[in-house]
Structure 1
Amino acid sequence: MILVVNGDDCTFDVNPSLSIYEYERRYNRFIFKSYQKPRHFVRNWRLASKFNSSLCGRMVVDPSTTIYGLEARIAPVKSFPWHVTLLRKQKDLCNGILILSRWVLTIASCSVNTDQISIGIWNVNSLTSYEQEVKINKRFEHEDYNPWTAENNIALVRLQEEVKFNDYARPICFPTMETNFDAAAKCFVTSFGMTAPGSFMKGEFLRYSAVTILPQEACSYSRSLLSRNTDRRNICTNYDAATLCYGDDGIPLVCEVNGTYRLAGLFSSLNNLGDCITPYFPAKYTRVFEYADWIYYVIEKNS
């Protein structure tokens, strides 16, 4: 097998039991992977198939057909059943998304100090029988996460017990090589975060906003020198459709693909001053597919 390593062609004796991520970690070399198909070496294909089960990415209620508010739309009950709130001592800290019955994907800056998750919640001030709270068993931050630049801002959370799937709690579908997230895609973000700049009160209801994927060149460009680094591991959306602010860390960006929703990204950072998103700062997310090797590797090793 010929691998391109640091610009040079190198020959490796391939051990089929090792994933690309394991090669990169073991030999401390970046492997250029864009020409490979399939892109990800997964030893446990049964595990990989679970990421796209018949239940994933399906909502009982489509939010685009039911609007409970005006400017800030309140998500209907039974919509966005994959949205997860990460808690510490019963207080919500940030957000994540359910990808398997015992696994939640979030950002590294969000996973610290959390001890349980909540899923199926619609109104934070009104507990219901369909809300599930599950304790966190272990957290896995990306080894190369840089809190100063927000690079590799991604983490996995393993739950102590399985989330029970129903109309209120379901996993999101995982993106594949063929998944095309562009401006034509129907995409949403969801959050319990602050409802407006200058407000420090979190929202009572789960809210959603439709957003548009920006071209990569627009994602990389910012009119302010205060913005953080952006590369192909990020994905950006327009800033005028939703105000992203305090409490929105880790919110999922999901897009409809052939009738089901797939995970495109996780909101990874505000600007360096911690301000709300403005026209100077397109909303930046960690592009999940770029970390598929790492996600498969961690789950396979720790399930």
Structure 2
Amino acid sequence: MEAAGFGQYRTRRGWIMGHLCSLLAIALLATSLVQGAQGSENQAGCGKQLVSGRILNGQAAKDGAWPWQVSVQRHGSHVCGGSLISESWVVSAAQCFTPPVISSTYRVQLGEKSIFDQTRNQTFSSVKRVIRNPSYDSATHQADIALVELENPISLTAAISPVCLLDASVRVPAGTPCWVTGWGNRLPQMSSSLAKTLQEVEVLTVGSTVCNSHFRKALQKPATYSPIKVDMLCAGYMKGYKGFAPGDGGGPLVCEKNGTWYLGGIVSWLLTTTVNGVTSVADGYPGVYNRPNAYNEWIQKNVPGVTFTVVNFPSNSAHSSAKIPRVLLLTILLWLTL
């Protein structure tokens, strides 16, 4: 009976193990398919560079590296950066347009890394209208976003093309490498001159909790105060300063996934310090950006046909949590086959 019982147990065990192996194999396949689906994005028509890529402590950009970058100019002089999001629309910062906004005084320069020299790639467009977000608060920097409609649709080329926009559900994780570009001051001093050519620098995103705590101490605010609002994103470094400078306002912070670039932030504000009457960018504090996908409903209301993309940017925690169930399933599968 013991022999028979053992034999029956082995038969049942083999049947059960076989089914479990099949189920685990299906689970592993399903996990791989889901992860593959989550990693896919719509890459058509936006976010493509002509070439692979000194803002403050950065370097000069190559021709065509950032084809969505624009210079917002007033009376022919550069005042801010911006990002092309369609043939007729640019997104920039609300702070760049002081009321009353007279559209005829503005123009947009596209397709060129220099804002001083005339070249064959250079394209100018007059401005039809400027729409500042009605919730913009100059004191807190909330809703620091504006839409600029061009007088006429422009022709898209390899050197002039839009950046992709993120779905409202997307949060760029802390530690994500992104790039900020612009013609802002080359030196930390606020009074220094603009860069002659478009500058680029890589920065890392910083979590809002860490960024809030860091800025709160600098501003000597109570624990209940949050200088980094829900529509903001920090990016930069906690030592020294590497990022945007005065003159870069409204420009793009872009993050890449699978060869496509997405607009993660709009240059908004930074900390400054004044010593002996000279005001400079403060060391040790990241730059703060408006998070444009916090205003997707407002953008969609004003920009016909605009689209947004769901993107899953990798993070250390996300990778770890994704690996654990796969490793566990593989371990069980191997044990069952022994």
Q: TM-score range by the shorter chain?
A: 0.7 to 0.9
What whole-Å deviation, never above 9, does each CA across 1:31-76 have from its counterpart, x for those lacking one? xxxxxxxxxxxxxxxxxxxxx661200001011xxxx999531100
**Residue identity matched to 2:124:** E
Aligned to 1:224, what secondary structure does the other structure show? helix
Alignment of structure 1 residues 271-286 onto 2, 5 Å: 271=271, 276-286=280-290
Structure 2 distance, partners of 1:70, 1:244, is: 6
Deviation at 1:124, TM superposition (A): 2.5
Aligned to 1:57, what secondary structure does the other structure show? coil
Deviation at 1:277, TM superposition (A): 3.7
Deviation at 1:226, TM superposition (A): 6.8
Larger % of helix: which?
A: 2
Aligned partner of 2:134 in structure 1 is 143
Structure 2 unaligned spans of 5+:
1-41, 306-338
Deviation at 1:243, TM superposition (A): 4.2
Aligned partner of 2:200 in structure 1 is 208
Structure 1 unaligned spans of 5+:
1-51
Structure 2 distance, partners of 1:229, 1:283, is: 12
**Residue identity matched to 1:238:** G
Aligned partner of 2:152 in structure 1 is 161
Aligned to 2:165, what secondary structure does the other structure show? coil
Deviation at 1:206, TM superposition (A): 0.2
What whole-Å deviation, never above 9, does each CA across 1:206-253 have from its counterpart, x for those lacking one? 010000001121222213117982122100012446243221211210
Change (3 A) 1:294 1:272: farther
Aligned partner of 1:220 in structure 2 is 212
**Is 1:62 aligned to 2:48, yes or no?**
no
With 94-103 and 245-254 compared, the bigger mean Cα shift is at: 245-254
Contact 1:150 1:269 in 2 (8 A): yes
Identity %: 26
**Residue identity matched to 2:301:** Y
TM-score (norm. length: structure 1): 0.74
**Residue identity matched to 2:181:** T
Aligned partner of 1:288 in structure 2 is 292
Aligned partner of 2:228 in structure 1 is 230
Aligned partner of 1:195 in structure 2 is 186
**Is 1:106 aligned to 2:92, yes or no?**
yes
Structure 2 distance, partners of 1:219, 1:288, is: 18
Contact 1:235 1:284 in 2 (8 A): yes
Deviation at 1:280, TM superposition (A): 4.7
Root-mean-square deviation (CA), in Å? 2.6
TM-score (norm. length: structure 2): 0.67
Structure 1 distance, partners of 2:265, 2:281, is: 16
Structure 2 distance, partners of 1:141, 1:273, is: 29
Aligned length: 246
Structure 2 distance, partners of 1:128, 1:226, is: 48
